[in-house]
Chain A
């Protein structure tokens, strides 16, 4: 199990490197995309080392492909292990998705069918990854745009069983719950109720876009009121959890993101007061 931690953070993006290196940014942690730093050397690794001197760092991957039918890529795991050993991150996470089959890599977070066969494969892959990294990982629920007719369980049932079998922990992306609930017509609260609360170690918040037929997880806009509402519900169920805002496109000045993060802080403080009153 990872060490207990709660607080508020941001994704570290190139546009804000200077802010994080030259000023004291009041966040409790930063999250980076692991693959951007799984390079041989140069400025990216140097920047990450310097940011790590100031803040706890979360390594968040997009290319592990934990749902691949043909297992994980050992070379990828070795590179990630090297980065983990150097950075000593707070958490190491990736997505409950797949991107690679055979020699093909889609570089997209493709959906896993919630079947018994997929569950077996995902669990075997998670065990391999956790062994290779020597630590517990967190896995994030992705946004999805289709479901499979032969699914044998809901997404939250799949996640709960995956976590039970492997001991992995969870990164709850509240925006992704909202997007997938809208796209597939399920109840977002049923999702929150169905995942093991004690396993959720981190929360992502982000913006999405309405496409012609579906909601799309674009990370290019502020968190919308409906997602803030769902976040408030989530922390009422989960208690204090490390929370951050992901912004990957149309990235605004850091001050705007800090302002947005303050909404999460306020909701967290309100929930803490509610709990204190409840337990007084």
Chain B
């Protein structure tokens, strides 16, 4: 048997439990093949449990396990790092729970916190560095660990309660959508709930970094005076949170 054929049959056995593939590999290897399949599936389930501990509590162990098994059946791993396997779990959750944004948003938080933890290092900008900036042409660089997401539910309160092993509040839709922001300060990943305007401002800044474009967006929403003042206060807050790493 050619090496490539054997490896494709092994893949079929692991992913689909194909009996035909198992027979071609070796008719006397049933116990060994079972060990490899068990290792394969256990490893992937453990990866998802490790990445989404609060989601597992929120869904309940059995529902989470069913979702994990459905994910493993539909999405075989492809990346060199096992950590990447968690990236697509949100897709399975959207398919299984199309009407539960709390679940999608909780999964986003846990995935984003993990990604931020190992994101590229970057030194935060100091206030001194802003002294000579030409603001008309300034392009702000956000920390590589920053991730933002629309928030439509009270997921931040749910996540916080789960982290503290308290009873989480029931899921609720927000009267007005806000945002979630995940980033890393020093070596600690952080989560913050932000309002819709700050979310829009960060998305705008992620687009091209232009401080002028950011001001224009805020002025369009708030008017000249309030818009410029808001740009200043947001910038001060982001600098204090170590979100800005270059200009």
Contact = CB atoms under 8 A, between A and B. Distances in A.
Interface in A93-142: 98, 100-108, 110, 113, 115, 117-118, 121
Contacts of B79: 105
A149 interface: yes
A216 B28 CA distance: 18
A213 interface: yes
Best-buried of A42, A149, A150, A211 by chain B (most CB within 10 Å):
A42
B33 A146 contact: yes
B247 interface: no
A115 B1 CA distance: 10
A193 interface: no
Contact of B11 (A38, A101, A107): A101
Given A73-B80, A121-B3, A146-B26, A40 B120 contact: yes
Contacts of A121: 3
Nearest to A103: B78
B40 A106 contact: yes
B32 A115 contact: no
A113 B32 contact: no
A101 B9 CA distance: 10
Contacts of B11: 101-102, 104, 106
A42 B184 contact: yes
A68 interface: yes
Contacts of A152: none
Contacts of A271: none
A42 B3 contact: no
Interface residues of B, number: 43
A113 B6 contact: yes
Interface string B69-113: 000000011111110010000000000000000000000000000
A270 interface: no
Contacts of A106: 10-11, 14, 40, 77
Contacts of A118: 3
Best-buried of B26, B33, B47, B145 by chain A (most CB within 10 Å):
B26
Contacts of B119: 40-42
A43 B3 contact: no
A186 interface: no
Interface string A42-82: 11111000000000000000010001111001011000000
A148 B26 contact: yes
Interface of A: 35, 38-46, 63, 67-70, 73, 75-76, 98, 100-108, 110, 113, 115, 117-118, 121, 144-150, 183, 211-214, 216
Given A107-B77, A110-B7, A214-B32, 6 more contacts: A46-B187, A113-B1, A118-B3, A144-B32, A145-B32, A146-B31
